[in-house]
Each structure stands twice: as structure tokens, then as C-alpha cells.
Amino acid sequence: MKFYLFSLGCKVNSYENDLLREEFLQKGLIETDKPEEAMIIVLNPCSVTSTADQKSRQHIRKFRRLSPKAILVVMGCYSQKNFLEASTIGADIVLGTSHRKEIPALIVRFEKERKPIILVDKDNRKEKYEEFGSFALPDNTRAYLKIQDGCNYFCSYCLIPFVRGNSRSRSRESVLREARLLVEKGYKEIVITGIEIGFYGLDLSDGSYRLGNLLRDILEENPTLFRLRVSSLNPSEVDDSFLSVIRDFPAFSSHLHLSLQSGSTKVLKEMKRPYTAEEYYEKLQLIRAIRPEIAITTDMISGFPSETEKDFLESLDFAEKCHLAEIHCFPYSPRKGTFAYTLKDLPAEVKKNRNARLIDLSKKLREDYKEKFYGKELDVLFEEYDEKKGISYGHTSNFLLVKVTSKSNLHGQVKKVAYTKENAAD
């Protein structure tokens, strides 16, 4: 029997699909990249914006149309919030952000009964992290390792704490066990991921074992690991133990995604973010004192309801002052059930205009950052190979994408490459 997996949104969704893939393969199922061939389709969509909800609905309808007889499973943030809608428009099995390890048994049950299944916890408060197995995929370059789920921040614009629940940490032993497995299987890079990894450890024992401690243990126990990266972090979670990892371990990536959202302290307060623009800048300076060359990327929202033109210009100036390597730009999207949803939204053309200006700044900052490394020799971990063009692609420690002409596939290899405008691939 063939299966097809598809995810939208964050790396956590991709990680969960990877675990499910391993489970299916171990049971003798065959993966296909064509949904119309599959008898089992699993969709793990996103719900961070209204656009994400729309894409989720579109994909449910699309997969149902492409494979009418397939068992269609929908799980994750979108279906946690919209489980009835997901079932109505085509899903056979609907899960939220729990019970994912039960998917194989639920598929067997549906095959027998042929009745829609909805298994969603309406009370999303949880005490323990839900273990979901380990995996070892054939692509042994980069692997994602989930250490935490849920979020304790209730930012005024965000639904994630409502659909993912409170923060739950995976046990130290479980994380280290999977890290060892990934290194043994030949992975060169591990990316630590979760919904809000800065909360790691707060719910374990006395809360003294935190993210920095875990990263140190991973690196000390796996001295052959080439690169360790973290997916995203809030500046308020950059503490001494985290900074010591950046200082002590060259294998820790010279790229950090440090969430900002706005460069205006006034707007940050109204977003209910747990830091000010000044505190963000202070943490950035602490990081750069240890790694001057580090690439700091971030997310920023343009057009938050209370954001004035003056606030937005202040945000642009702040982003430039920070010399960010890249900005992921998002226009504000109202989410029903959040505090910000009660505020008067800005006109669509204002949000569109501000986002376009933010994107222009991001492009400039990206080019400014890249120029600092032209002519320098950098270690590149190669991840992809275009056989038709004879080109291998890979990333440096500071997440610069590099392309080189190669007669053979360099996948999984580390090579020193002189970085130039010609081989910069992003």
C-alpha cells in the first residue's frame, strides 16, 4: 500500500511527518511523491495565519479530489482548531496536536468501519511531552530533533498556545538518545526544534536544566557532530548557559533566528512580547561579542492594528541598526480568539505597503551581510545535487547557500569553498 505525506508551516510539522514516515516504512508501506497514487494521505497543515487556514482547506479538498478512495488523515494546529470543518470538507481521520502515535491503529480502524474519526482533545492543557518515536531517514545530511511542544506565551496576535497547549519538555534522556542515533546514522547537522524551545526544561524537575544545558550535553556526547543549529529563539531566553555554548563549541552554528516581530517597544508591548527593543539589542550585542560573524535572522510583522507610520519607521530603523542578515516578513493577519482580533484592523493597502517596504529592507540587509564574506573560504555542508546541471548545493555555518559545479554528487560532504558573488545561491 502506498502513502503520501505533506506538511505546511513550521519545522515541527516536517519533523512529525518524518517520524510518521519511518513508522509507515517499518510496517512495509511504500512512499510515493504522487498523491493520486496513494491509498493513505496524511496532511499536517498550519494555522498561524488566516492565509495558512485557507491553504489547509485547499489542500484537503485537493487531496480528496486527486485520490477519492484514499484514507485522508489531517492532524496538527489547523485541525485542532477546525476539526469539524476538516471532517466536513473531506478528511476521514481528524487529529489535533495529540494522539499522533495512534495514527496507524486509527487507519486500521477506519478500514474496518469506514466511519469518520475525530480524535481531538478540547482541553489542550497537558502535563507531559508526547513521545512519538525516533527516526533514521536515508538523507543523512540534516535532521530535525524536536525537544519541546506548546507555548506559555500568549502574544496578543497568536493562536498557537490555544492549539498546541502549554509548554511540555521532552526528557533529557530521550533527546540525547535520539541525538546519538542520528549521529550514528551519519547525520552531519542536527537542528533543534519545537514550538518555543526557550521554554525547554521549565517543567522538568526543579526547572534548573535548561536549553543551554541540553545543547552542551548534546555537543559533549557527540564530538563528531559537524553542526548543531537551533530553529528559533526569543531574545528573553538567551541566558548565560546558552551564550556559553556559542562560546565553547565551534560546532554550534553561526546562525541564530532571534525572533523580533517589531522594532518598536510600544508595539512590542501591545503584542504582549516578553522583551523591549532595547533588550533585544542588548542580547544581540552579547551574542556578537562572542561570534562577530554570526548571522542573525528574524521574523517581523508589519501592520499590527496599533502600529502607526511612526512606529513602523522606528521598526525599520531598528532592524537596520541591528544589521540583521535577513527578515522573514509577514503582514498582520487577524486571528479570531486572540486579543488583537478585537482591535480595529489597518486597511489592507497600508499593511501591503508596509510589508513591501520591509521586504525591500530585508533584501538590502541580506546583500550587505553576504558581501562581508565574498572572497573568504568557508566550510560548506552539501545537501542537494542537480544531476542535469551538475551543480551541488550546500550551506555554510552562517546559513549562506552556496552552489558549486561538480561532476559527482557531493551530498553529505563538507568542502572548503571560496565564497563569491558567482557561487552565492540565494
Which range marks the domain in which residue 11 is found?
2-119
Whether residue 48 contacts residue 159, with contact meaning beta carbons closer than 8 Å, is answered with yes
Reduced to 3 states, what is the DSSP secondary structure of residue 59? helix
Residues 332 and 387 in one domain: no
Residue-level pLDDT at 72: 97
Residues 304 and 230 in one domain: yes
Task: Judge whether 130 lies within some domain.
Answer: no
- Give the mean model confidence (pLDDT) for residues 306-312: 97
Task: Judge whether 136 lies within some domain.
Answer: no
Residue-level pLDDT at 101: 84
Judge whether residue 128 has pLDDT over 80: no
What are the angstrom distances between the C-alpha of 232 and each of 50, 194, 308, 320?
A: 22, 9, 28, 20
Task: Judge whether 187 lies within some domain.
Answer: yes
pLDDT in tens, 371-396: 999 999 999 999 999 999 999 999 99
Residues 262 and 391 in one domain: no
Query: Starting at the edge strand that comes first in sequence, how are the strands of the sheet with 30-31 ordered?
Result: 30-31, 2-7, 40-44, 71-74, 93-95, 117-119
pLDDT in tens, 235-256: 999 999 999 999 999 999 999 9
Domain boundary (57, 87, 119) is at 119
Residues 351 and 203 in one domain: yes
Residue-level pLDDT at 191: 94
Residues 203 and 274 in one domain: yes
- Give CA–CA dist 425/420, Å, rounded: 10
Phi-psi region of 116 (alpha: psi -120 to 50; beta: other; left: phi over 0): beta
Residue-level pLDDT at 134: 56
Hey, what's the cell of 44? 499536517
Residues 56 and 200 in one domain: no
pLDDT in tens, 37-50: 999 999 998 888 88
- Give the mean model confidence (pLDDT) for residues 340-359: 97
- Give the mean model confidence (pLDDT) for residues 79-92: 93
Average pLDDT of the chain to the nearest whole number: 93
Residues 392 and 316 in one domain: no
- Give the mean model confidence (pLDDT) for residues 132-159: 81
pLDDT level of residue 23 (50, 70, 90 thresholds): confident
- Give CA–CA dist 305/230, Å, rounded: 31
Residues 46 and 73 in one domain: yes
Burial 25-44 (b: 16+ CB within 10 A, else e): eeeebeebeebeebbbbbbb
Residues 110 and 159 in one domain: no
The helix (run of H) or strand (run of E) holding residue 382 is strand 377-386
Reduced to 3 states, what is the DSSP secondary structure of residue 21? helix
Reduced to 3 states, what is the DSSP secondary structure of residue 180? helix
Task: Judge whether 206 lies within some domain.
Answer: yes
Provide the domain count of the chain. Answer: 3
Judge whether residue 308 has pLDDT over 80: yes
Residues 178 and 37 in one domain: no
pLDDT level of residue 138 (50, 70, 90 thresholds): low
Residues 227 and 364 in one domain: yes
What are the angstrom distances between the C-alpha of 107 and each of 114, 172, 289, 411?
A: 10, 32, 53, 36
Residue-level pLDDT at 22: 85
Beta strands in 303-343 (DSSP E): 326-331
Task: Judge whether 29 lies within some domain.
Answer: yes
- Give CA–CA dist 197/423, Å, rounded: 34
- Give CA–CA dist 310/316, Å, rounded: 10
Residue-level pLDDT at 48: 80
Judge whether residue 190 has pLDDT over 80: yes
Phi-psi region of 62 (alpha: psi -120 to 50; beta: other; left: phi over 0): alpha
Quote the longest CA-to-CA distance of the chain: 64
Q: How many H helices and E strands in the chain?
A: 13, 17
pLDDT in tens, 272-302: 999 999 999 999 999 999 999 999 999 999 9
* CA-only gyration radius of the chain, Å: 22
Q: State the pTM of this model.
A: 0.87
CATH of the domain at 312: 3.80.30.20
Task: Judge whether 131 lies within some domain.
Answer: no
Task: Judge whether 129 lies within some domain.
Answer: no
Task: Judge whether 424 lies within some domain.
Answer: no
Residues 226 and 362 in one domain: yes
pLDDT level of residue 216 (50, 70, 90 thresholds): very high
CATH of the domain at 9: 3.40.50.12160
Judge whether residue 126 has pLDDT over 70: no
